[in-house]
C-alpha cells in the first residue's frame, strides 16, 4: 500500500472529503433558507469544517453576514440605509475603518472621531454578544452539547476591494487559480470582520478584510494530493511547532503557504508519487517566510501576517526545527503524532485495528456534520401547519435540486427527518381540535401518511413519533408494537446528536470493516434525543405538559421516553405486571446514565409513573429528588414549582394530593 493510501486513512479518502464538503454546503443552504426569507442575514460555513478537514481537529466557523448592511468603496455608491464607506488603513494593509455615511447604524456601535461617525468593531461585537458566548478575535464562541461553534458577525463588501486588485491581475505562470475561478471568487465577494490591527491607534474601531469565501472556493479546487499536503502542514503545526512555540504560527499561515506553493508550481508536480517532494516544497516556502519574518497574505501581499509573531529570539529556533522537518519529511511528522501504524507496510493486526479506528473516526465526523444539519428542522414545530407544509415542500426542492453528488439514499434520510419535525406540528393541531369534521379527517389521514413516510430517518425518532401518535388516538396496542420494534432495533453503539455518548469499541466491532455505506451508518447509528416542544404542547402525553411548559423545549433520552411511553400504555390497560416491568427497565436505564440531565429526566418520568400506579408518596419522593439534584439545594427552595407540578399530576390522574412535609 503506497504512502498516499496510508495518509488517506489518516486524513480521509477523496470520496469522504468530497462528501463531507457537500454536506457542509447542504447545511449552509438549509441554514440560509429562513434567514433569506426574512431578509436578516446569510450564514457562511467557513473554517476547517467547510474545507473538509477532520484531523487533528475540526473547527466550525460560521460567518453571519448582515444583509441590511454593506460596505462600499465610494460615496457615490452609498445609496441606501446601512451603507458604510470603506476607508483603507494607510499603515495596516488589509484593515480599514467604516464611515456611517447615511447615519443609519445604531448609536451603540458608533464612535465619533473628528466629527465623523465610524462603525466601531469593538462596539459591534459587544452589540451581538450573548450570554455564555465568549469573544476570541473577530469571533464569538459557543458550545452546544459536544458541538463547538465560532461566530463572526460580519458585513459584506458590495465590490472587490482596491487593496486586493493586484491579486486579480497578477501574472500566474501555471494558471492556478483559473480565470473562471477568479471571476467566481470576485462574484462571491469578501467581507469585513470586527477586529483591528493591534499595532494601530484605531485598533478598537478598525475592521479586517476577510476572504473566507474565496479561500473555501480555492480549497475545494484542491486535488487530493494538495489536500493531503495541507493536512500534513496542519499536523506539523499541531504536533511540532505549537508544542514548542505556542501562539506564534497558526493554521491560516499553513493555508497561505499551500496557496502560494500551488500557484507557483506546475500541476504535474502534484501527483501522489510526489507527496514527499510537494510537502518539502511547502516547508521550504514556510522556511523562507520565517527567515525573512515576512508572510504575505495571499490576497494582499503587502500585509505581513507574522510581523508581530516572530522575533530574533525565536526565529532561529523555529528555523532549526523546520530544517530538521525538511530532512525527516513525512515519516518524521507521522512519528511525532504517534500515528506510526499508518506507515506499516504489512496488513498486520495493528494495521487492521488502525484501519477500523480511522473508519470509525470518518463515520463519526460525518455524523457530527449531519447533526448540524438537524438544526434546520428545529423551527418546524413552532409554525402553523400551512407554513410547516410549505417549508417541507421547499425543503424537498432544495434537496432535489442540490447540485452535489449526494446519493438519493442520504437525501431521503434527511427528508424523513424533516417530515418528522413537521408531523409534531400537525399532531398538535389535530389534538387541539374538538369534535369530528372533514378538516379533522383530512388532517388525520395526511398525518398518518406522513408518519409512515418519515418512519425510517434514524433509529428512534420516527418510531417514537408514531408510537406517541398511536397512544394519543387511543390505539394502545399499535403504540406498543412500535415501542417493541424500537427496543429490538436500538443499537448499543447509538450516537446521540446533542451529547457525545458513542461506545467506540462496540461501534467498531459491529459497524466498521464490514463494507457498510456511510448512509447505512447514519440511518442505523443516529439516535438523537427526542424533543418535546412547547409550541406543540398538545402533541404529547398530558403528564409531560407541565415540564414542557416550564422548559419551552424539553429533550429526553430516546430510551427514557420509550420506557415512559410503554409504561403509560400498560397503565391504560391496567396491566400492573407489565407496568412494573417497564418501570424496572426505566430505573435500570437511569442507573446506566452518566449525564446528570439524563438522570434528572428519568427520575421525573419514574415519579410520573408512580402517580399512575397510585403511589403518591413514592411519586413525591422521586419528583422531589429531581430538584435536589438539579439545584444541589433542598426542595423547599423550589417549593412553588415543585408543588404545582405535583398538584397538576395528582389532578390529571384523579388522585387525592397528599402533601409531603
Residue 169 exposure: Cα atoms within 13 Å on the Cβ side: 6
Summarize pLDDT for 150-187 with one digit per residue, the tens. Answer: 778 899 999 999 999 999 999 999 999 999 999 999 99
Same domain, 143 and 58: yes
279 contacts 330 by C-beta, under 8 angstroms: yes
Residue 195 structural domain: 40-219
DSSP for 532-588?
EEGGGGGGS-GGGHHHHHHHSEEEE-HHHHHHHHHHHHHHHHT-HHHHHHHHHHHHH
The total number of residues shown for the chain amounts to 661
If asked whether residues 52 and 156 sit together in one domain, one would say: yes
User: 77 in a domain, yes or no?
Assistant: yes
292, 312, 343: which is the final residue of a domain?
Answer: 343
**Rounded CA separation 475/478 (Å):** 5
Q: Supply the pLDDT for residue 266.
A: 96
Q: Does residue 484 fall inside a structural domain?
A: no
Q: Cβ(84)–Cβ(119) under 8 Å?
A: yes
Question: Are 158 and 284 part of one and the same domain?
Answer: no
Domain with residue 298: its CATH number is 1.10.1410.40
Instruction: With respect to residue 518, please indicate whether it lies within any of the assigned structural domains.
Output: no
- Among the listed residues 590, 531, 533, the one whose alpha carbon sits nearest the alpha carbon of residue 559: 590
Q: Does 358 map to a domain?
A: no
What letter would DSSP give residue 496? P
Domain's final residue, options 219, 249, 277: 219
Question: Which residue in 261, 251, 262, 183 sits closest to 222, CA to CA?
Answer: 262
Cα(334)–Cα(417) distance, integer angstroms:
40
State whether 215 and 228 are in the same domain.
Answer: no
Mean pLDDT of 394-419: 63
Residues 183 and 233 in one domain: no
Q: Are both 280 and 330 inside the same structural domain?
A: yes
226/197 same-domain check: no
Same domain, 653 and 595: yes
Average pLDDT of span 50-71: 78
DSSP character at residue 494: P
Portion of the chain with pLDDT greater than 90, in percent? 30
Do 308 and 232 belong together in one domain? yes
d(CA 361, CA 367): 10
In a domain, 360, yes or no: no
Tell me the pLDDT tens digit for each residue of 316-362: 999 999 999 898 888 777 776 665 555 554 444 445 565 666 666 66
Total domains in the chain come to 3
Going by pLDDT thresholds of 50, 70 and 90, the confidence category of residue 653 is very low
d(CA 496, CA 223): 34
Same domain, 89 and 146: yes
Phi, psi of 146 (to 5 degrees): -105, 15
Q: What percent of the chain has pLDDT over 70?
A: 73
Check whether residue 211 and residue 232 sit in a common domain: no
pLDDT at 87 over 50: yes
Residues 51, 195, single domain; the answer is: yes
> Of 301, 327, 343, which residue sits at a domain end?
343
Amino acid at each position: 500500500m503506497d504512502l498516499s493510501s496510508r495518509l488517506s486513512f489518516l486524513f480521509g479518502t477523496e470520496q469522504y472529503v468530497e462528501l463531507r464538503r457537500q454536506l457542509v454546503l447542504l447545511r449552509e443552504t438549509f441554514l440560509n433558507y429562513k434567514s433569506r426569507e426574512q431578509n436578516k442575514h446569510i450564514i457562511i460555513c467557513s473554517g476547517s469544517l467547510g474545507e473538509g478537514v477532520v484531523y487533528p481537529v475540526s473547527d466550525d466557523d460560521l460567518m453571519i453576514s448582515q444583509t441590511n448592511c454593506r460596505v462600499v468603496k465610494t460615496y457615490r455608491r452609498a445609496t441606501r440605509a446601512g451603507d458604510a464607506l470603506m476607508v483603507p488603513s494607510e499603515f495596516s494593509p488589509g484593515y480599514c475603518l467604516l464611515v456611517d455615511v447615511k447615519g443609519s447604524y445604531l448609536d451603540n456601535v458608533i464612535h465619533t472621531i473628528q466629527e465623523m461617525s465610524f462603525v466601531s468593531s469593538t462596539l459591534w461585537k459587544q452589540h451581538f454578544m450573548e450570554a455564555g458566548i465568549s469573544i476570541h478575535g473577530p469571533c464569538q464562541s459557543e458550545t452546544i452539547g459536544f458541538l463547538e461553534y465560532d461566530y463572526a458577525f460580519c458585513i459584506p463588501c458590495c465590490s472587490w476591494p482596491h487593496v486586493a486588485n493586484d491579486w486579480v491581475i497578477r501574472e500566474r505562470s501555471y494558471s492556478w487559480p483559473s480565470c473562471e475561478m477568479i471571476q467566481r471568487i470576485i462574484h462571491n465577494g469578501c467581507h469585513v470582520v470586527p477586529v483591528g490591527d493591534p499595532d494601530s491607534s484605531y485598533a478598537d474601531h478598525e475592521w479586517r478584510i476577510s476572504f473566507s469565501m474565496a479561500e473555501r472556493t480555492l480549497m475545494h479546487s484542491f486535488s487530493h494530493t494538495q489536500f493531503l499536503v495541507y493536512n500534513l502542514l496542519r499536523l506539523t503545526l499541531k504536533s511540532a511547532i505549537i508544542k514548542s512555540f505556542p501562539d506564534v504560527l497558526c493554521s491560516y499561515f499553513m493555508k497561505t503557504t499551500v496557496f502560494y506553493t500551488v500557484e507557483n508550481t506546475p500541476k504535474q508536480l502534484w501527483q501522489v508519487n510526489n507527496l514527499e517532494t510537494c510537502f518539502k516544497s511547502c516547508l521550504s516556502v514556510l522556511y523562507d517566510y520565517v527567515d525573512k519574518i515576512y508572510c504575505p497574505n495571499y490576497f494582499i501581499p503587502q500585509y505581513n501576517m507574522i510581523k508581530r509573531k516572530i522575533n530574533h529570539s525565536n526565529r532561529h529556533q523555529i528555523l532549526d526545527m523546520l530544517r530538521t522537518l525538511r530532512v525527516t519529511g513525512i515519516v518524521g511528522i507521522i512519528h511525532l503524532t504517534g500515528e506510526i501504524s499508518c506507515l506499516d507496510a504489512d496488513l498486520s493486526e495493528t494495521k487492521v485495528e488502525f484501519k477500523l479506528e480511522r473508519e470509525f473516526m470518518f463515520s463519526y465526523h460525518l455524523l457530527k456534520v449531519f447533526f448540524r444539519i438537524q438544526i434546520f428542522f428545529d423551527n418546524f414545530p413552532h409554525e402553523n401547519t400551512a407554513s410547516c407544509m410549505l417549508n417541507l415542500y421547499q425543503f424537498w426542492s432544495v434537496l432535489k435540486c442540490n447540485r452535489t453528488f449526494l446519493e438519493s439514499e442520504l437525501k431521503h434520510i434527511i427528508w424523513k427527518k424533516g417530515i418528522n419535525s413537521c408531523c409534531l406540528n400537525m399532531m398538535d393541531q389535530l389534538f387541539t381540535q374538538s369534535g369530528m369534521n372533514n378538516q379533522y379527517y383530512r388532517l388525520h389521514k395526511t398525518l398518518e401518511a406522513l408518519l409512515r413516510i418519515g418512519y425510517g430517518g434514524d433509529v428512534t425518532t420516527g418510531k417514537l413519533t408514531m408510537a406517541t401518535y398511536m397512544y394519543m388516538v387511543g390505539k394502545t396496542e399499535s403504540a406498543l408494537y412500535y415501542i417493541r420494534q424500537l427496543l429490538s432495533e436500538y443499537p448499543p453503539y447509538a450516537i446521540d446528536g446533542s451529547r457525545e455518548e458513542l461506545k467506540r469499541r462496540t461501534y467498531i466491532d459491529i459497524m466498521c470493516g464490514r463494507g457498510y455505506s456511510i448512509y447505512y451508518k447514519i440511518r442505523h447509528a443516529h439516535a438523537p434525543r427526542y424533543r418535546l416542544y412547547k409550541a406543540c404542547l398538545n402533541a404529547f402525553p398530558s403528564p409531560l405538559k407541565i415540564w414542557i411548559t416550564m422548559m419551552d423545549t424539553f429533550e429526553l433520552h430516546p430510551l427514557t421516553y420509550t420506557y415512559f411511553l410503554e409504561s403509560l400504555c400498560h397503565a391504560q390497560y391496567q396491566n400492573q405486571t407489565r407496568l412494573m416491568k417497564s418501570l424496572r427497565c426505566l430505573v435500570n436505564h437511569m442507573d446506566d446514565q452518566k449525564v446528570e440531565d439524563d438522570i434528572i429526566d428519568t427520575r421525573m418520568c419514574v415519579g410520573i409513573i408512580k402517580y399512575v400506579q397510585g403511589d403518591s408518596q413514592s411519586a413525591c419522593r422521586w419528583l422531589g429528588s429531581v430538584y435536589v439534584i438539579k439545584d444541589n439545594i433542598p426542595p423547599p427552595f423550589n417549593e412553588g414549582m415543585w408543588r404545582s407540578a405535583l398538584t397538576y399530576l395528582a389532578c390529571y390522574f384523579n388522585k387525592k394530593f397528599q402533601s409531603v412535609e
